[in-house]
Amino acid sequence: MQRMSDAYDPPRDPITILQDDAHLLAVVKPAGLLSVPGRGPDLADCLMARLAPVFPGILLVHRLDRDTSGVMVFALTPHAQRALSMEFECRRAKKTYAARVAGILEPRSGTVDLPLTVDWPNRPRQMVCHDTGRPAQTDWKVISHGDGETCVRLTPHTGRTHQLRVHMLALGHVILGDTIYATGPARDHPRLMLHAEELRINHPETGHGLRLRAPAPF
């Protein structure tokens, strides 16, 4: 079975488009595909590169980790890029993720409020650090319990690197398929069980609220 920690071999499936107008483009990024190019020609294939031939004015607004699937929005004009970027910087953008985590998560809901920083000797790992970490908050809500695992909805209020992955690890319920933080049977899954299910933003031109949604594929 191909692991996402192996040599970069992104999926070739067509990209699903959720919304396309003169100002923005919303799509569903598949798991295993970089949002933007990595370092070196072997990491040049990415979501932006695949979209650029059809949308030549595409501009980056935010990113998802390579192993995370789900809703991403791009700008198609400089004005839209500025407006959409402010949605994220000012925390007006509301993101909701679906995840499958190891173990039976209890109680049914809660908030993780733990500061995060890079674990320099073990990059790209991140870690909780109360001395030098940046504030990070994540709400969680249990959707269902299964055979030794839990489906959970995660709502981050900050956008730190690996925030959801480290916060779930800190709770003792690592996200299944996480090749960076999981060990043992929790690691043995074909993909990271984390999906950006919904993004709520204001349209950069009209100001109207947009609800962009793609149900989790797991």
Known catalytic residues are 65
Q: Are 176 and 186 in contact (CB under 8 A)?
A: yes
Tokens of 185: 């049977």
Question: Of 169, 43, 183, 16, nearest to 99 (Cα)?
Answer: 169
CB atoms within 10 A of CB 65: 20
Burial of 115 (0-12, 13-18, 19+ CB in 10 A): middle
**How many residues would you count in the chain?**
218
Could you tell me the maximum CA-CA distance found in the chain, to the nearest angstrom?
49
Show the CA angle centred on residue 18, arms to residues 16 and 21, nearest 5°: 120
Round to whole Å and give the CA distance between 149 and 159: 25
Q: How many helices (H) and strands (E) does the chain have?
A: 3, 11
CA torsion sign for 83, 86, 90, 94 is: positive
Tokens of 196: 């950006």
